[in-house]
Amino acid sequence: MKKRILNLAVALGAALLASTQVSASTLDDVKQKGFLQCGVSQGVAGFSIPDAEGKWTGFDVDICRAVAAAIFNDPTKVKFTPLSAKDRFTALQSGEIDLLSRTTTWTMSRDTAMGFMFPATTYYDGQGFMVRKSLGVDSALKLDGAAVCAATGTTTELNLADYFKAHGMKYQGVAIEDSTQLRQAYDEGRCDVLTTEQSILYSQRSSLKQPDDHVVLPEIVSKEPLGPMVRQGDIGWFNIVKWTAFAMLNAEELGITQANVEEMKASTNPEIQRVLGVKNADGTAPGFGPGIGLDEQWAAFIVKGVGNYSEIFERNLGAQSPLKVKRGVNALWKDGGFQYAPPIR
């Protein structure tokens, strides 16, 4: 009897130890599992939403796929965990997911005290407001006294408070966790205003009962640099995600696309050769992939798997999508935008 209890206790203790310890190397974990566990949002058209066949699509989703492609040369080796804005941090903190790619704003507290890190800004956004056209409101400064719906646990909620305070206006803040519930509550008239990132507003508007009855106000009231997020304490993993994002931008800059990536390997441009991991005439390899624990051809895998930055953008948010978002500030630096990736060298 005694022995049995002791055995039980030892087994229990071992199980606890094993289950609660977040492994030191996320890359090893992911390789061992054979797939990447990626946290995304629960259904925001353009960013992450399952299509009719249940396949996840969207800009944030493709970032996950790009990381999987870099590791496995196979963009399908991802499992997605849909998370509400409120649950996303606990999921990453507890090790339930390896990477969070979920319209998450890079802020100081998240990047420092909360124990996370932002490898890159994949989408520069800002907070806006949407109202019913019938209200006849044409500026956010005329929203004094309005009821405003926002998602729980977001920067949105905080910016909202700041903006109204700064302009001496009052509001009734209705905070709802689930984004579908939130949209419904606005649609059914619980609030006069829906507020979130402008890009998400357009996406949410497209899912309303009568999209044309609603208008997005011109004001942008905050900076929302959105990007993937990882845990502190694993610099190797941080670098992999960071350089996956940069590889997509560098590929766009160099004109490497999903369609031409194989031909490009024959290019004589040394920059392209470096990015694609092409060996020199003397057989020496550039070595950038191995430098982050990946294959020599990691960047080629990414572009082959999901495309360069521009392709991901246009497919999910831009011209080829129903949302028709313009590149705007998300254009490359060469074209007057903010997207600027350090060189691969």
Ligand X SMILES: N[C@@H](CCC(=O)N[C@@H](CS)C(=O)NCC(=O)O)C(=O)O
Beta bridge partners of 57: 49
Site residues (vs another protein, CB under 8 A):
1-2, 5-6, 9, 12-13, 16-17, 20-22, 24, 85-86, 89-90, 93-94, 109-110, 113-116, 135, 142, 144-147, 152-153, 157-158, 160-162, 165, 170-178, 181, 184-185, 188-190, 192, 231-233
Q: To which residue do tokens 């419904």 refer?
A: 184
| 28 binds, options another protein, ligand X, none, Cβ within 5 to 8 A by partner type | none
Tell me phi and psi for residue 292, to 5 degrees.
-115, 20
Beta bridge partners of 147: 172
Site residues (vs ligand X, CB under 6 A):
41-44, 84-85, 103-105, 151, 154-156, 179, 182, 196-197, 200, 204, 224, 226
Nearer to another protein, 181 or 273 (CB): 181
Distance CA 92, CA 134 (A): 42
Q: Which two tokens stand for residue 232?
A: 């502190």
Min separation Cβ 197 and ligand X, Å: 6
Nearer to ligand X, 85 or 312 (CB): 85
Min separation Cβ 48 and ligand X, Å: 7
The CA distances from residue 16 to 8, 13, 336, in Å, are 12, 5, 53
158 residue type, one letter: L
Nearer to ligand X, 224 or 296 (CB): 224
Min separation Cβ 179 and another protein, Å: 12
Min separation Cβ 189 and ligand X, Å: 18
Min separation Cβ 11 and another protein, Å: 11
Nearer to ligand X, 44 or 120 (CB): 44
Min separation Cβ 9 and another protein, Å: 4
| 179 binds, options ligand X, another protein, none, Cβ within 5 to 8 A by partner type | ligand X
300 residue type, one letter: A
Nearer to another protein, 55 or 170 (CB): 170
Nearer to another protein, 155 or 297 (CB): 155
| 121 binds, options another protein, ligand X, none, Cβ within 5 to 8 A by partner type | none
Distance CA 68, CA 294 (A): 11
Nearer to another protein, 111 or 295 (CB): 111
The CA distances from residue 285 to 69, 171, 249, in Å, are 20, 60, 22
222 with 279: CB under 8 angstroms?
no
Q: At what angle are helices 59-72 and 309-316 packed, to 10 degrees?
A: 140
Reduced to 3 states, what is the DSSP secondary structure of residue 85?
coil
195 with 128: CB under 8 angstroms?
yes
**Which run of H or of E encompasses 185?**
helix 179-187
Min separation Cβ 173 and ligand X, Å: 14
